[in-house]
Amino acid sequence: MPKKMWTKELVRKEAKKYSTPVEFKRGSAGAYRRACRDGYIQEVCSHMTSSRWNREKLLKVAAQYTSLKEFRNSEKGAYLFALKKGLKNEATAHMTRLAAAKNYWDYERCAAEAQKYSNRTEFMRKSGSAYNRALSENWIDEICQHMGTPADGYHHCVYVILNRRLNKAYIGITRQHLAARIKHHKGAGNTTKSKHISTLNDTEFHALTDYEFDVKEVKNVEAHWCSVYQDLGFEVLNDIKQLGRVGTSQRIYTDDDILAEARKYSRRVDFKLGSPKLYDAAVSQRLLEKACEHMRGINKKGHWTKEACIEFAKSCSDREEFCKSTTGAYDASVKNNWLDEVYNVLRSRRDMGWLKAKGDRIQLWKDAGSYHQIWLKNNCCGYWKMRTLTGHNLQKMVRKFEAGWIPSEDQDWRRWREMLDGKETRRG
| 357-384 pLDDT, tens digit each | 788 888 888 898 898 899 888 888 888 8
Question: For residues 181 and 194, is the Cβ–Cβ distance under 8 A?
Answer: no
167-198: pLDDT as tens digits: 999 998 888 778 888 888 998 888 888 999 99
140-158: pLDDT as tens digits: 878 887 776 666 667 888 8
Query: Which ranges in the chain are annotated with CATH 3.40.1440.10?
Result: 157-242
Question: For residues 419 and 352, is the Cβ–Cβ distance under 8 A?
Answer: no
**Given a cut of 60, is residue 9 above it in pLDDT?**
yes
**Given a cut of 80, is residue 62 above it in pLDDT?**
yes
Beta bridge partners of 119: 148
State the pLDDT at residue 350: 67
When pLDDT is averaged across residues 27-49 and rounded to a whole number, the result is 84
For residue 67, which phi and psi values (nearest 5 degrees)?
-115, 130
CA distance 390 to 385: 9
Backbone angle region of 307, left / alpha / beta, with phi > 0 → left and psi within -120 to 50 → alpha:
alpha
CA distance 362 to 55: 43
Looking at domain 157-242, its CATH superfamily turns out to be GIY-YIG endonuclease (3.40.1440.10)
